[in-house]
């Protein structure tokens, strides 16, 4: 077991895997970089979003819309941009606010989902590269058998073992990347739900203000 985790063993695996181990290595590095970046980004955004929503929900509930706008300007989170877009239109009616929120929401959704396409690509391409490497290895192995003129069990087993290394490498890369991708998607979905709830609170508050013209708007 100790030999399995030694550096020399992994180097040997890499060498045995042949050419296709290089693009698989590139996929592994890309996937790792994007996973780390996205985890840090979403964790930071989530923490800031919860704090902002707590503050803004209280201000909106008390019809302190100008203070809510000032609070949103202090943050660079997607929810801050969405709410600010709506609050900037608060004196133009609830319909204009809703349109502004929807337009900004599409922009911020693309911002939240940035990088996920790379994870999805790695998760799909890595196993395909592994299978392609295996097919190429099998072709080489059977070519060696043909040249030898006889079927030697050692030759066949060795060729198949080397060919299967790329498949194992592709799956080893794809599985954790796919898990990370799904985790990030669920994290973004929870953030979107929170943003939608706060946006709905803003719309309802503006409807109340419209129904009571004498109410304080800021």
pLDDT tens track for 104-114: 888 888 888 99
Confidence of residue 155 (pLDDT cuts 50, 70, 90): low
Give the residue among 27, 198, 202, 192 at the shortest CA–CA distance from 110.
192
pLDDT above 70 for 156: no
Instruction: List pLDDT tens digits, range 54-101.
Output: 888 888 878 788 888 888 888 888 888 888 888 888 777 777 888 888
pTM: 0.81
Give the pLDDT confidence score for residue 83 in this predicted structure.
87
Q: Which two tokens stand for residue 159?
A: 């060729």
Secondary structure (DSSP) of 34-79: HHHHHHHHHHHHHHHHHHHHHHHHHHHHTT-HHHHHHHHHT--SHH
**Nearby residues of 114 by Cβ (< 8 Å), 6 or more positions away:** none
The stretch 190-198 carries a mean pLDDT of 83
Q: What is the pLDDT of residue 122?
A: 96
């Amino acid at each position: 077991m100790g030999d399995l985790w030694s550096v020399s063993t992994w180097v040997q695996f890499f060498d045995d895997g042949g050419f296709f181990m290089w693009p698989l290595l590139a996929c592994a590095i890309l996937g790792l970089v994007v996973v780390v970046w996205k985890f840090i980004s979403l964790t930071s955004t989530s923490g800031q979003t919860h704090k902002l929503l707590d503050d803004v929900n209280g201000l909106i509930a008390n019809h302190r819309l100008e203070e809510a706008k000032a609070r949103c300007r202090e943050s660079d989170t997607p929810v801050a941009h969405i709410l600010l877009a709506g609050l900037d239109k608060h004196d133009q009616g609830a319909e204009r606010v809703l349109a502004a929120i929807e337009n900004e929401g599409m922009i911020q959704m693309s911002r939240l989902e940035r990088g996920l396409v790379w994870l999805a690509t790695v998760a799909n391409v890595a196993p395909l590269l592994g299978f392609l490497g295996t097919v190429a290895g099998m072709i080489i192995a059977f070519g060696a058998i043909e040249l030898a003129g006889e079927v030697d069990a050692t030759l066949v087993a060795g060729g198949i073992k080397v060919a299967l290394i790329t498949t194992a490498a592709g799956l080893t890369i794809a599985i954790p990347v796919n898990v990370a991708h799904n985790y990030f998607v669920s994290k973004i979905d929870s953030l979107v739900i929170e943003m939608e709830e706060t946006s709905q609170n803003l719309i309802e508050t503006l409807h109340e203000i419209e129904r009571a013209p004498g109410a304080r708007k800021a």
